[in-house]
Amino acid sequence: MNAKVMEANLESGLSAADSNTDDFFAAVAEKSDGTVLRGDYSKIDDQYVVKQDWDAYTPEQHALWRRLYQRQAKLIPGRACDVFIESLEALNIGDGIPRFEESSALLFKATGWTLVAVPGLVPDHIFFGHLANRRFPVTVWLRDPEEFDYIVEPDVFHDFFGHVPLLFNPIFADHLQDYGKGALKAMKLGGLGMLARLYWYTVEFGLIQSPEGLRVYGAGILSSGGEIEHCLTSPASLRLPFDVERVMRTLYKIDSYQETYFVINDFQQLFDDTAPDFTPIYERLKALEPLPANTLLPGETNLSLK
Ligand code: HBI
Ligand code: FE
């Protein structure tokens, strides 16, 4: 997900309900710095799907992938949740940019999800439509070497390395499909901003308890060289027990490490707590001011670090 694009969209007051393809290119594709989205959108089908032209990747790009992979692989033990570590091994993607079709076949056997190749960010309703149908959109392009540590738009390393391993967990896989369905509904109810915060603080930056201590399941952290250590150890950030309404009220940072992380006990909690109809929650929260990212409300406890 691209937070800058999304925030711009939300703050411009663009109603998600009338967002369509034209709006996407007119209002979303033109970023605040005047540039346009990076991908090649000239060959998309009606779902924004393209072919992954694997043969077109250069040896230098595969080498860059290997460097990114190796840095992250070293950071993963003792920090990522079990399903991430196990699935990453099964995917066997350390040697170069993976062929989506091969990984998609493995994933389909495990949880019935498939991977589809996309040029980059796609309009909200397209993105959620894919999720609602158990298809995960993966960007085809890889960052440039100068962007080794930080990338503004999601690339193939973030999308694939960060997101795909979690889809091997059946509960998480079901949750993400329900999220897609819920987001399509939220677009009609004026709840998309709140649902985007939910996605941000779970799918992108979520932490999970394990018998051995806190672990990471959020893709934004798992594909980041620096935040993976910061999020588990830094006293500068808060770690709060996951609570749907609290999460939906909380603003997030798009240009720094998160100041608050929300911790789930297990994936079943994420699934169960997000199962109810959010309509009344949206109505309640629309009447409240959102909370800054570093807020600790009276009565809340910052989870202690072991
Ligand atoms: N498109 N390819 C892609 N990847 C995303 O993560 C993404 C997107 N379009 C919209 C979007 N994310 C967000 O608006 C939602 O996750 C809230
Ligand atoms: Fe992402």
pLDDT per residue as tens digits for the range 127-184? 999 999 999 999 999 999 999 998 889 999 999 999 999 999 999 999 999 999 999 9
Nearest atom of ligand 1 to the alpha carbon of 48: 2
User: What angle in degrees, to the nearest 10, is found between the helix axes of 100-111 and 170-189?
Assistant: 100
Q: Whose CA is nearest to atom 4 of ligand 1?
A: 1
Give 299 Cα–ligand 1 centroid separation in angstroms: 34
Residue 174 CB contacts under 8 Å (≥ 6 apart), including other chains:
271
Residue 20's pLDDT is what? 56
Give 220 Cα–ligand 2 centroid separation in angstroms: 6
Distance CA 96, CA 91 (A): 12
**Tokens found for residue 54:** 């694997």
User: Greatest CA span in the chain, whole angstroms?
Assistant: 56
**Section 184-201 average pLDDT:** 93
Helix runs in the chain, H state only: 3-11, 21-23, 59-75, 82-91, 100-111, 124-132, 156, 170-189, 192-199, 219-222, 227-233, 244-248, 267-273, 279-286
Taking a C-beta distance cutoff of 8 angstroms, is the pair 9, 15 a contact?
no
DSSP 115: E
Taking a C-beta distance cutoff of 8 angstroms, is the pair 184, 110 a contact?
no
Predicted structure pTM score: 0.90
Taking a C-beta distance cutoff of 8 angstroms, is the pair 259, 237 a contact?
yes
Catalytic residue status for 158: yes
Residue 138 CB contacts under 8 Å (≥ 6 apart), including other chains:
100, 115, 116, 117, 118, 156, 159, 160, 163, 164
Distance CA 101, CA 176 (A): 20
pLDDT band at 4 (very low <50, low <70, confident <90, very high): very low
Give the alpha-carbon dihedral of 40, 43, 46, 49, to 10 degrees: -70
Residue 102's pLDDT is what? 98
Catalytic residue status for 130: no
Residue 132's pLDDT is what? 97
Residue 10's pLDDT is what? 41
29: three-class secondary structure by DSSP: coil
Residue with tokens 């996407």: 24
Residue 306's pLDDT is what? 63
Catalytic, out of 125, 130, 158, 175: 158
Show the ligand 1 pocket: residues with CB < 6 angstroms: 1, 6, 118, 121-122, 124, 127, 137, 139, 154, 196, 199
Pairing of strands 260-264, 238-241: parallel
- Radius of gyration over alpha carbons of the chain, in Å? 18
Backbone angles phi, psi at 299, to 5 degrees: 90, -15
Taking a C-beta distance cutoff of 8 angstroms, is the pair 10, 28 a contact?
no
Catalytic, out of 125, 153, 204, 237: 204
Give 229 Cα–ligand 2 centroid separation in angstroms: 19
Domains and CATH numbers, the chain: 3-286 (1.10.800.10)
Q: By C-alpha distance, which of 124, 118, 104 is closest to 193?
A: 124
User: What number of residues does the chain have?
Assistant: 306
Residue 33's pLDDT is what? 57
Catalytic residue status for 163: yes
Instruction: Kindly report the number of other CB atoms within 10 A of residue 76's CB atom.
Output: 16
138: three-class secondary structure by DSSP: strand
Q: Whose CA is nearest to atom 6 of ligand 1?
A: 1
Nearest atom of ligand 1 to the alpha carbon of 118: 2
pLDDT exceeding 90 applies to what percent of the chain? 84
Residue 16 CB contacts under 8 Å (≥ 6 apart), including other chains:
9, 124, 186, 187, 190, 192
**Section 37-60 average pLDDT:** 95
1 pLDDT above the threshold of 80: no
Q: Whose CA is nearest to atom 12 of ligand 1?
A: 1
